[in-house]
Amino acid sequence: MEALSNVRYLEFGEMIVGPWAGLMLALFGAEVIKVESGYRLDMTRRAGVTAQGGRVAAYIPGQPIPEGMITDTPVFNWVNLNKKGITLNLGEPKGVELAKRLIAISDVMVETYRPGVMDRLGLGYPDAAKLKRDIIYVSSSAVGYHSTGLEAKQLGYGPLFRALGGLGYLTGYTDGPPGEGLGRDDVLDGTMISIAVLMALLYRQKTGQGQFIDFSAREGISFLIGDSFMEPVLNDRDPVRQANRDEVMAPHNCYRCLDDGMDRWLSIAISTEDEWNAFCEAIGSPEWTKDDKFRDASGRWQNQEELDKLIEAWTINHSDREAMEILQRAGVAAVPSFSIDELWSDPHLAERGIFDVVDHPVLGAQPLIKSPCRLSVTPPNIKTHGTMLGEYNQWVYEELLGLSQQELSDLVAEGVIY
Amino acid sequence: MVAGPFCTKIMADMGAEVLKVERPGIGDEARRRGPFPDDIPHQERSGLFLYLNTNKLGITLDYTTPEGSGILRELVKGYDVIVEDNPPGALSRLGLGYEELSELKPGLIMTSITPFGQTGPYRDYKAYPLNSIHSSGEGYVTPSGSSFRDRPPVKLGGFAGEYEVGIYSALGTLVALYFRSCTGLGQHIDISKQEALTISCLFDHLPYAMVGMTVSRLMPRVPETGVVPCKDGHVMCVSLEETFWQRIKKLMGEPEWAQADWYQNQDRRREHAAEVRKGLEEWAGNRTKRELHEGALEEGVALSPFLTPREILQSELLKSRGFFAEIEHPELGKVTCITAPYHLAKTPWWCERAAPLLGEHNEEIYCRRSGYTEQELATLAAQGVI
């Protein structure tokens, strides 16, 4: 059974934020119709290679796609699983008319163009609500739909959201620069949009009403550090970056493990006296529990730099997994700072079955990770590879909108469906 | 402490009645964490707890006692969803597992949040928020673009990893609620923190899965992408395609050094990374975050300042968007909090009450709604059940 099989969702979104929101719901059975255009090819489709692996001429927005160019990539595939992709040129009045007909039969639409673009096309919320009274309409942008002034020109890339949202400032070494993050913030913003859509769907179930949702991607990143605003609010000062340190716990860090230049680390966090005693016992240093400097939590916290060195003298003689096993057996929270390759060969994740493969007609076998939302009755489900450009044109235009074969081929020839 | 409470805060702030069940006398671990006003610890003055528990009702209950678990079984009948973060199997051993509770309350949705999920060889392993971030790969690649080869990978700032988990927990719960609204059927949701965190790393997973390349925080990138120090802090500069670099050069005023042929090609710029960085840093070093950002906004350059929480609180744009709200708290007075990044026109973010004091709604829930007398309540309290 699929949880969202009665939801039709129209996606006007490029890059990651919007498409990720659609993916989160498509995995639960929502029918996501993804609207693209060859004249405005998504950046994540632009690998610029041919089937033979050669380079093709650079893609120029507004121009047709260069001959022989592959428009499918592993990133695009992942982010657009289970979706039904169509091409539609919104630069043509007939294209806008077709978009309106699609809106009229949809439950949800999400658009991530710059604020104002959809309104100028006649596809803004007021227009959409006339076509479909109870539509749930999300406008997502870098700083939000209702923004004015110079800041409204903010470009929308994940690493910029991390900087503007405050998470960057709080991440990293105390004496180093703030921490950046590439890509992950777009994903999280996308997930937040899917949450907002679901809340609106629940409200619609109850009242029959749709609504407009204004989503700001930079606010989404501030949402991940909500409690960090309490420090300036209560004490008029900013919190600081503190690498792996904790306000209360010590030891609380990553420790270098035995490796052959592979950069392996074990995270250890100790909260209670029981854990501390078990830890000292497990690593063969029970005398530390008697040491005045480490005897209680505040002593360990005060002297944590010294303690870290002592601990690392033990971890450096063990592999990260071996050290994890020893300490977990003793009831101590110790987990390697897993690198991506370690995760793909991890027995726990293998048994949990988080890895999957989908066959793509152009790209071949594509490895993936499943949704982390494991629902027992309606589990997430990967049904089809990332949609190819215009793959569902015939189905959507003929079956859903009732165009004839002739009308469809005319619209293709006119560049409306491209 | 954070992940579960954030999941339910998302619901409570949109109008759900959330009943928070805390251990008598002790309460949520978050109560012992700051920030506290003037750094003086007090269980009713934790900024972390206050933020994460807005709009919730709070009761105390030790459901590990026989009386306590009986009381919880009764309470469950009045609720649609349970969100819990006990170790796998702990609730079943108390007769409070999904199987048992869903018999009492048909259609029940239960969301269980654990470090490694309900199954698999690590299911009983212990992990604090630090360990969870590092269990997922998200720690290993942080801080990306690092030049400190001898230093460990680090966690995300604050409790961001736990918030991520809370967001996926909310997603799963809402999907289940929607399905229930159509069919009446409930279900159990198994959220592994490790899995919720690792899904965000798709740009790190793909290079490995496709070509066996392990992304590390130490990997060099296109030199004009990254953190650039400036006069009063740092800015983030992003360059994905050649047009990005062309715009950065224009913003810098087409400096002499950037005109050489090899600067016009991404691959060649990588070979001369040190020179590109030096040029960028000299240019940015004489300018403030604000100057750089305003220039970037005018010219369409993908560059933004690293803002601190205090700077964010001062943003006129965010104020005008209703991103902040004032909450009246009995111990702390008027406190400003952030609202949410999604602004739903008909069902906006809403704050009816501040976070509950420990056991604040015991009388309301036990006496007025469940029919216990004040005498019975006092007896249960004396027994340590409530």
Provide the CB-side half-sphere exposure for A219 (13 A, CA): 28
Q: Which of B160, B158, B163, B172 is nearest to B83 (CA)?
A: B172
What is the enclosing helix (H) or strand (E) of A276?
helix A273-282
CATH number of the domain to which A316 belongs: 3.30.1540.10
Say if residue A290 is exposed, middle or buried (CB neighbours under 10 Å; 0-12, 13-18, 19+).
exposed
Residue of A nearest to B323 (CA): A219
Q: Which of A356, A398, A396, A362 is nearest to A380 (CA)?
A: A356
Token pair of B125 as six digits? 């392993």
CA distance A119 to A111: 11
State the total domains in chain A. 2
Instruction: Determine the pLDDT at residue B128.
Output: 98
Q: What sign has the CA pseudo-torsion B188, B191, B195, B198?
A: positive
* A372 CB within 8 Å of a chain B CB: yes
Instruction: Determine the pLDDT at residue B222.
Output: 78
In a shared domain, residues A218 and A262 = no
Token pair of A30 as six digits? 């929502």
Task: Measure A406 CA to nearest chain B CA, in Å.
Answer: 39
Chain B residues touching residue A334 (CB < 8 angstroms): 131
pLDDT surpasses 80 at A182: no
CA distance A408 to A411: 5
Name the amino acid, one letter, at A352: R
In a shared domain, residues A331 and A388 = no
Provide the CB-side half-sphere exposure for B281 (13 A, CA): 11
- The set of residues, in sequence order, having a beta carbon less than 8 Å from that of B371 and lying 6+ positions away, is none
In a shared domain, residues A260 and A205 = no
Which of residues A318, A344, A370 is at a domain's end?
A: A344
In a shared domain, residues A27 and A97 = yes
In a shared domain, residues A258 and A329 = yes
In a shared domain, residues A12 and A121 = yes
* Residues 316-345, chain A, touching B (beta carbon < 8 A): 324, 328, 331-341, 343-344
Instruction: Determine the pLDDT at residue B241.
Output: 80
- Interface probe for B, chosen from A2, A112, A234, A252 (most Cβ of B below 10 Å), is A234
Whether the ω angle into residue B143 lies within 30 degrees of 0, i.e. cis, is: yes
Instruction: Determine the pLDDT at residue A324.
Output: 98
Task: Measure A403 CA to nearest chain B CA, in Å.
Answer: 32
pLDDT surpasses 80 at A342: yes
CB atoms within 10 A of CB A149: 11
Contact A172 B52 (CB under 8 A): no
Instruction: Determine the pLDDT at residue A261.
Output: 79
CB atoms within 10 A of CB B167: 24
In a shared domain, residues A144 and A34 = yes
Contact B121 A189 (CB under 8 A): no
Token pair of A208 as six digits? 């029959």
pLDDT digits (tens, 9 = 90+) for B255-268: 998 888 777 777 78
What pLDDT band is residue A316 in, cutting at 50, 70 and 90? very high
In a shared domain, residues A31 and A158 = yes
What pLDDT band is residue A415 in, cutting at 50, 70 and 90? very high
| Single pTM value for the model | 0.97
pLDDT digits (tens, 9 = 90+) for A106-129: 999 999 999 999 999 999 999 999
Residue of A nearest to B117 (CA): A352
Name the amino acid, one letter, at A286: P
Token pair of A52 as six digits? 């033979």
CATH number of the domain to which A203 belongs: 3.40.50.10540
- Interface probe for A, chosen from B128, B162, B298, B336 (most Cβ of A below 10 Å), is B128
Q: Is A313 within a domain? A: yes
Question: A221: which strand partners?
Answer: none
Residue owning tokens 């507004």? A62
Contact A195 B10 (CB under 8 A): yes
Instruction: Determine the pLDDT at residue A200.
Output: 98
CA distance A33 to A12: 9
pLDDT < 70: residue spans in chain B: none
Name the amino acid, one letter, at A57: A
pLDDT digits (tens, 9 = 90+) for A138-150: 999 999 999 989 9
User: For residue A271, how far is the Cα from the chain centroid?
Assistant: 31
Query: Is the Cβ–Cβ distance between B275 and B257 less than 8 Å?
Result: yes
Q: Is A143 within a domain? A: yes
CA distance B214 to B219: 10
- The set of residues, in sequence order, having a beta carbon less than 8 Å from that of B380 and lying 6+ positions away, is B67, B71, B366, B372, B386
Instruction: Determine the pLDDT at residue A51.
Output: 73
Measured torsion, CA atoms of residues B223, A62, A115, A26, in degrees rounded to the nearest 10: -90
Instruction: Determine the pLDDT at residue B319.
Output: 97
Minimal Cβ distance to B48: which of A1, A230, A343: A230
Q: Is A65 within a domain? A: yes
Chain B residues touching residue A203 (CB < 8 angstroms): 344, 346-347
Which of residues A344, A375, A391 is at a domain's end?
A: A344
The domain in which residue A287 lies consists of 252-344
Q: Which of A197, A192, A204 is nearest to A9 (CA)?
A: A197
CA distance B374 to B376: 5
Q: Which residues of B11-97 form beta strands (DSSP E)?
A: 18-22, 56-60, 81-84
CA distance A405 to A247: 66
Q: At what angle do helices A320-329 and A273-282 cross, to 10 degrees?
A: 130
Query: Is the Cβ–Cβ distance between A327 and A268 less than 8 Å?
Result: yes
Token pair of A66 as six digits? 């260069």
Q: Is A242 within a domain? A: no
Distance of CA A342 to CAs A11, A81, A156, A336, A338, Å?
35, 25, 32, 9, 6
CA distance A411 to A380: 36
Name the amino acid, one letter, at A34: K
Name the phi and psi angles at B107, rounded to 5: 85, 5
Contact B152 A256 (CB under 8 A): yes
pLDDT surpasses 80 at A260: no
- The set of residues, in sequence order, having a beta carbon less than 8 Å from that of A155 and lying 6+ positions away, is A142, B300, B301, B302
CA distance A171 to B141: 12
Instruction: Determine the pLDDT at residue A72.
Output: 95
Which of residues A344, A365, A398 is at a domain's end?
A: A344
Question: A180: which strand partners?
Answer: B144
* B304 CB within 8 Å of a chain A CB: yes
In a shared domain, residues A264 and A160 = no
Q: Which of A258, A256, A252, A279 is nearest to A266 (CA)?
A: A256
CA distance A245 to B98: 36
Q: At what angle do helices B242-251 and B289-299 cross, to 10 degrees?
A: 120
In a shared domain, residues A338 and A358 = no
Token pair of A271 as six digits? 């909260």
Percent share of chain A, pLDDT over 70: 100
CB atoms within 10 A of CB A413: 10
* Residues 344-363, chain B, touching A (beta carbon < 8 A): 344-347
Instruction: Determine the pLDDT at residue B210.
Output: 87
Chain B residues touching residue A3 (CB < 8 angstroms): 175-176, 178-179
Contact B120 A173 (CB under 8 A): no
* Residues 97-116, chain A, touching B (beta carbon < 8 A): none
CA distance B325 to A378: 37
Contact A191 B119 (CB under 8 A): no
* A392 CB within 8 Å of a chain B CB: no
Residue owning tokens 């994740």? A349
Q: Is A115 within a domain? A: yes
Task: Measure A3 CA to nearest chain B CA, in Å.
Answer: 5
pLDDT digits (tens, 9 = 90+) for A4-35: 999 999 999 889 999 999 999 999 999 999 99
- The set of residues, in sequence order, having a beta carbon less than 8 Å from that of A177 and lying 6+ positions away, is B143, B227, B229, B234
What pLDDT band is residue A49 in, cutting at 50, 70 and 90? confident
Which residue ranges form the domains of chain B, and what is each CATH number?
3-201+340-382 (3.40.50.10540), 226-312 (3.30.1540.10)
In a shared domain, residues A339 and A358 = no
CB atoms within 10 A of CB A347: 11
Instruction: Determine the pLDDT at residue A53.
Output: 75
Helix extents (H) in chain B: 3-12, 47-52, 66-76, 90-93, 98-104, 129-135, 160-183, 193-198, 202-211, 242-251, 266-271, 273-285, 289-299, 309-313, 316-320, 362, 374-382
- Interface probe for A, chosen from B124, B155, B221 (most Cβ of A below 10 Å), is B155
Residue owning tokens 């528990």? B53
What pLDDT band is residue A361 in, cutting at 50, 70 and 90? very high
Token pair of A119 as six digits? 């309104």
Minimal Cβ distance to A188: which of B134, B164, B321: B164
What is the enclosing helix (H) or strand (E) of B305?
strand B303-305
Which DSSP category does B354 fall into? P
What is the enclosing helix (H) or strand (E) of A334?
strand A333-336
Contact B171 A164 (CB under 8 A): no
pLDDT surpasses 80 at A181: no
User: Across residues A219-241, what is the average pLDDT?
Assistant: 97
Contact B154 A243 (CB under 8 A): yes
Token pair of A209 as six digits? 């009403």
CA distance B132 to B138: 9
* B289 CB within 8 Å of a chain A CB: no
Question: A35: which strand partners?
Answer: A86
- The set of residues, in sequence order, having a beta carbon less than 8 Å from that of A364 and lying 6+ positions away, is none
Whether the ω angle into residue A251 lies within 30 degrees of 0, i.e. cis, is: yes
Instruction: Determine the pLDDT at residue B360.
Output: 97
Higher confidence at residue B262 or residue A391? A391
In a shared domain, residues A52 and A162 = yes
Chain B residues touching residue A351 (CB < 8 angstroms): 119-121
First to last CA, chain A: 35
